[in-house]
Amino acid sequence: MIDVLIVGAGPNGLMLACELALAGVHPVVLERHAAPTGEPRANGLVGQVVRLLDRRGLHARLTGESTPPAPQPAFTFGAFPLDLTVLAENPHYVLGVPQAQLEATLAARAVELGVDLRRGHEVVDLRQRPDAVEVRLADGTRLTSRFLVGADGGRSVVRRLAGIDFPGVTNDLSISRTATVTVPASSVDPETGGLRAPGYGVVPPFQHTRTPRGLIAWAPFPGRPAILSTTEWPDAPTSDETPMNLAELRASVARVLGADIPLGPPDGPGLLRRLTGGNTRIADRYRDGRVLLVGDAAHVHSAIGGPGLNLGLQDAANLGWKLAATARGWAPKGLLDTYETERRPVAERVVMSTQAQAALIGPGDEITGLRELFAELLRIPQVTGHIAALMSGVDVHYPADPADPLAGRNAPDVVVHGDHGPIRLAELTRAARPLLLDSTGAYAEVTAPWRDRVDVVTGQLEGTTATALLVRPDCFVAWSSGDAGTLRASLTRHFGRPR
């Protein structure tokens, strides 16, 4: 019998497969497409997920560089520029890699770890038993697994077959158009790389620009085709049955900016996409018996601000070690249920953020007035810091001991100075095992009964005021600087009874 069957080989499903494999559970991943589609989707990763990838050794693979990620000095929120250099501690990270590259990197890593990745297999039915889940594929094949995870996107077949509701709202009020394009050299500002619009000015690169008539974003990615997109709110619903073309996007740009910009096709295959309206939905439950949901199968929302992969990949990291512990038999009671209790509030917060931004970019004089007030607020560094924490996800705080200021929070980027020289936390967490960092040497005896599943590293800790940190596999702090009794209780609560 298969331990874990994952449906969907997108970034979230592949990340979950890697996490499970690192924890000693080798899943089977089913993907209905026979080969990667290569369809342009996300253009990068935004938020604390960049640090997570560094802590799995994937940041270097994606960038080709060994240097750790650095915070981004600027970003955007609701088509407002955010100057993050005013912050004493900038939590915002950005990694500009296309989703196709991310998927290829995660797929290669999954295969390295022994994951069974099967493409061209479509799930059409499932049936739960008390001890397993049986799925039927389109070709009639039946597979049985102890657990089934739907990582198959916003239109999840697994979610539907499991009978999990997907409440929320759908609207058709906006039309977004996106394409890979070329523009004349005269239309590009040489100093900023922005898009010159006669009579309007310069559209800055890599941020949303709002006018009373719509939204525009210009992304001149180095080494690959530039992407231009617009969003409008037409007076009446329009049909999207006819194929998108560059003339349609050019006309939309002219309406939004009041300026005409010549657009040409990219060299080679490109993206031409029109989306009408959008969905904001969160699954009624993330788990039904032995069926679980991760990523877009559990929640969908606007893409503004790029929160999708930050949310989905960290879903996978949260679920991975808990599901592996359950499959291997050492999980404490209720551990798997904490996947939803910890991650649902994060999804709700992302939905709040994207809905707020959608309101701020809307058309009309009333929104313009609201934006003037919001621009004043963003001149206050504390407000910028609050928004940056929201956008990056650094404000995520899982339920934990209120007396422990670090418990439940993403672990700081600690450097351990031990017998073998300094080593970053990101280098210690690549095996995705629970980890105790101890600057006193006093906690090793307490942790010894859990040595089969918890690693101990001793040395002076740089980058934190804590004398010791117990770090979960998803790199969130389980416990810090308490006495032996509280450490023992945290070890039991997170990693089960000692063997």
The model's pLDDT over 247-284, given as tens digits with 9 standing for 90+, comes to: 999 999 999 999 999 999 988 778 898 988 888 999 99
Q: What is the spatial distance between Cα 126 and Cα 156, in angstroms, rounded to a whole number? A: 13
Element holding 60 (H helix, E strand): helix 58-63
* 227 located within any domain: yes
3-state helix, strand, coil in the chain (%, to 5): 30, 25, 40
Q: Is 28 helix (H, G, I), strand (E, B) or coil?
A: strand
Is residue 151 domain-shared with residue 265, that is, in the same domain? no
CATH of the domain at 182: 3.30.70.2450
Question: How many C-beta atoms surround the C-beta of residue 149 within 10 A?
Answer: 32
Provide the angle, in degrees to the nearest 10, between the axes of the packed helices 11-22 and 308-328.
30
In 193-327, beta strands by DSSP E: 195-197, 201-203, 208-211, 214-219, 226-232, 272-282, 287-288, 291-293, 299-300
CB 49 within 8 A of CB 350: no
Beta bridge partners of 182: 264
For the segment 451-471, what is each residue's pLDDT rounded down to a tens digit?
999 999 999 999 999 999 999
For the segment 339-370, what is each residue's pLDDT rounded down to a tens digit?
999 999 999 999 999 999 999 998 888 999 99
What pTM value is reported for the model?
0.94
* 140 located within any domain: yes
* 380 located within any domain: yes
CB 476 within 8 A of CB 393: no
pLDDT at 11 over 80: yes
Is residue 363 domain-shared with residue 459, that is, in the same domain? no
Domain that holds residue 488: 409-495
Is residue 248 domain-shared with residue 312, that is, in the same domain? no
Is residue 221 domain-shared with residue 254, that is, in the same domain? yes
Closest CA to 249 of 270, 224, 280: 270
For the segment 134-169, what is each residue's pLDDT rounded down to a tens digit?
999 999 999 999 999 999 999 999 999 999 999 999
Closest CA to 341 of 306, 315, 310, 317: 315
Between strands 214-219 and 226-232, the pairing is: antiparallel
DSSP state of 86: G
Is residue 75 domain-shared with residue 87, that is, in the same domain? yes
CATH of the domain at 141: 3.50.50.60
Q: What is the spatial distance between Cα 462 and Cα 357, in angstroms, rounded to a whole number? A: 37
Q: What is the spatial distance between Cα 30 and Cα 32, in angstroms, rounded to a whole number? A: 7
* 344 located within any domain: yes
Q: Per-residue pLDDT averaged across 214-232, rounded?
A: 91
